[in-house]
Chain A
Amino acid sequence: QKEVEQNSGPLSVPEGAIASLNCTYSDRGSQSFFWYRQYSGKSPELIMFIYSNGDKEDGRFTAQLNKASQYVSLLIRDSQPSDSATYLCAVNENKFYFGSGTKLNVKP
C-alpha cells in the first residue's frame, strides 16, 4: 500500500512570510509528484508538479523533491491571505495516491 503523509496542520504564517509544506512518501520508486490546492467548499486544483530531484519554481511557488529522502515540499513565498487553503500532496504511480492535506492559514 503506497502511502503519502502530510502534517494536517494548521500551519499559520504571517502575511509576507514563506510557507513551507512538507510531504513524505513510502515508495522509493515513485517518480511523479503533484501539489493541489483546495479552498474550503471547493474542489482541488492543480498548482504544481515535479518529476526531477531539485527545485522547480513557478511564480511564488517552489516545489522541492528529494528522492533519496523520499520527501517533496512546497514553498510559498510572500504568502498572502488568499493562499489560505488546504494543500494536498499526491503521487502518481499509474494511479493517484493523495495525502490527507495540510491546512495553511496566512494571517494578515
Chain B
Amino acid sequence: GAGVSQSPSNKVTEKGKDVELRCDPISGHTALYWYRQSLGQGLEFLIYFQGNSAPDKSGLPSDRFSAERTGGSVSTLTIQRTQQEDSAVYLCASSSGQGRYNEQFFGPGTRLTVL
C-alpha cells in the first residue's frame, strides 16, 4: 500500500502568516508523530498521537504551534504567525501501534521557508 504522504512538499510564506501542513499516515496506523528538522540538525519531536488518547504535545515549541488528527487518520499541523526561525523541514511519521516493537515510517516531509 501507499506510504506516509505529506503536503505540500514545499511551502514559502511571509513572516506573520499562518500555515497548515498535512500528513496522511499509512492506512491502519494508529500512531502519528510530527518532527521538525532544521538544516544540518537532528529530529526535534513536536507532537505524538496514539489512537483516541490525548496527544503528547510536550515537544511543541510555542503556543503558535498546534496539531489535530481527524478520525484517527489525517493530521494537520498549524503554525500561526510564522517566524523566520520556523523555517525547517517538517516530517510526519506513522506507526502501526503503541507497542514497543512497532517501527516508524516517515513521509517525505514539507520544507517550510518563512521569508
A binds B: yes
Q: 1/0 contact trace for A30-68 toward B, CB 8 Å?
A: 011010100000111110010100000000000000000
Are B56 and A98 closer than 8 Å at their CB atoms?
no
A94 interface hit (Cβ, 8 Å): yes
Residue of A nearest to B107 (CB): A43
Interface size class on chain B is: 20 to 34
Residue of B nearest to A90 (CB): B104
Given contact pairs A46-B105, A92-B101, A95-B56, enumerate 4 new A-B contacts (beta carbons under 8 Å): A44-B106, A49-B101, A92-B103, A93-B100
Known: A43-B91, A94-B98. A88 touches B42 (CB 8 A): yes
How many contacting A-B pairs (Cβ < 8 A)?
Answer: 51
| Chain A residues proximal to chain B, CB less than 8 Å | 31-32, 34, 36, 42-46, 49, 51, 88, 90, 92-101
Are A92 and B56 closer than 8 Å at their CB atoms?
no
B72 interface hit (Cβ, 8 Å): no
Q: List 11 A-B contacts (CB under 8 A).
A: A34-B104, A36-B106, A43-B108, A43-B109, A45-B106, A88-B43, A92-B104, A93-B100, A95-B56, A96-B93, A96-B95
Are B100 and A43 closer than 8 Å at their CB atoms?
no
- Among residues 40 to 60 in chain B, which have CB atoms less than 8 Å away from a CB atom of chain A? 41-43, 45, 48, 56
Give every chain A residue within 8 A of B56 (Cβ-Cβ). Answer: 95
- Among residues 87 to 115 in chain B, which have CB atoms less than 8 Å away from a CB atom of chain A? 91, 93, 95, 98-109
User: In the assembled complex, how far is the CB of residue A31 from the closest CB belonging to chain B, in whole angstroms?
Assistant: 5
Give every chain B residue within 8 A of A42 (Cβ-Cβ). Answer: 108
**A49-B102 Cα distance, complex, nearest whole Å:** 10
